[in-house]
Structure 1
Amino acid sequence: RFKSSSVKECIHAILKEKLAHVQYIPEEMPQLTKSLSETIKDRLKEEGYDRYKMVVQVVIGEQRGEGVNMAARCFWDADTDSYAHDVFMNVSIAWFAVGKCKATCFCM
């Protein structure tokens, strides 16, 4: 079964490990977000979520005093499908990353 709390911990650990000492360079962020998404997805499959079809998304942006809102709509079975997310904030150099995972179970 998909455990949102353990998935959130996994996302948090990866974002913290991979982003702790990264400088925000806008030109490098597209490749970094792709790499982080793949890392999160691979780690979750290693943890036994191979029965789930997962969509993993990472968004990175600068903190310039504005807010950011994110929304998603999904069509799923509330008994087996779920999601998890975590936010990494680098306050010293003013940028953030949001990692999200939506999982749909292919249980037969």
Structure 2
Amino acid sequence: RERVDADLSHSVLHTAMSIVLPTYHLKPEDENARFSESKARHIVKEILDSELQWRVDNKWDKQIFETLSKSIADKIKEQCKTSMNIPRYKIIVQVTIGQMKDQGIKITSRCLWDTATDNYASVSFQKQHIWASAIVFAMYTD
């Protein structure tokens, strides 16, 4: 049996990361550096409309919509980060897509956060054969 020793000190992973050093501020100093629920709702609505409006058929493919929900969540997260310029906020996006079949659904969440700095925005989308719900959570971090 051959033994392979991996020397991890010689392998270097190069990744692009932005490092934000702690400031020890418990809230944003600038009012413009806060999460805006209305801006987030506008972003989410635009993305949901553009991604789901073209779905005119009534065929339901679980794998397509699973991939699509992840893609939509990534787009929402990226758009919120870039357009709102809130570097000290952690953005979490949850997207749920379902098929319209005369059923009911309730989507709930619970979070432990600071009501002075943290917030969320939610948008629902409904079409003839599909529905979607997107929730954006924003937590201020230091």
Q: TM-score, normalised by structure 2?
A: 0.70
1:51 Cα deviation from its structure 2 partner: 1.8
Which residue of structure 2 aligns with residue 105 of structure 1? Answer: 140
**Is residue 62 from structure 1 mapped to residue 99 from structure 2 by the alignment?**
yes
Of 70-79 and 15-24, more deviation after overlay is shown by 15-24
CA RMSD in angstroms, aligned pairs only:
1.2
Which residue of structure 1 aligns with residue 82 of structure 2? Answer: 46
Residues 13-58 of structure 1: CA deviation (Å, up to 9, x unaligned)? 0000111102542221111111000000000111113221011011
Matches within 5 A, 1:21-100: 21-22=54-55, 23=57, 24-47=60-83, 48-91=85-128, 94-100=129-135
Unaligned runs of 5+ in 2: 1-33
**Is residue 8 from structure 1 mapped to residue 41 from structure 2 by the alignment?**
yes
1:65 Cα deviation from its structure 2 partner: 0.9
1:3 Cα deviation from its structure 2 partner: 1.1
Letter in 1 for 2:61: I
Residues 51-72 of structure 1: CA deviation (Å, up to 9, x unaligned)? 2101101100011111110110
Structure with greater proportional strand content: 1
Instruction: Look up the SS of the partner of 2:68 in the other structure.
Output: helix
Letter in 1 for 2:43: C
- Matched residues, percent identical? 30
Distance of 1:32 and 1:26 partners within structure 2: 10
Q: Which has the larger radius of gyration?
A: 2
Distance of 1:101 and 1:59 partners within structure 2: 12
Distance of 2:101 and 2:86 partners within structure 1: 37
Structure with greater proportional helix content: 1
Residues 70-101 of structure 1: CA deviation (Å, up to 9, x unaligned)? 1100000000000001011112xx21011111
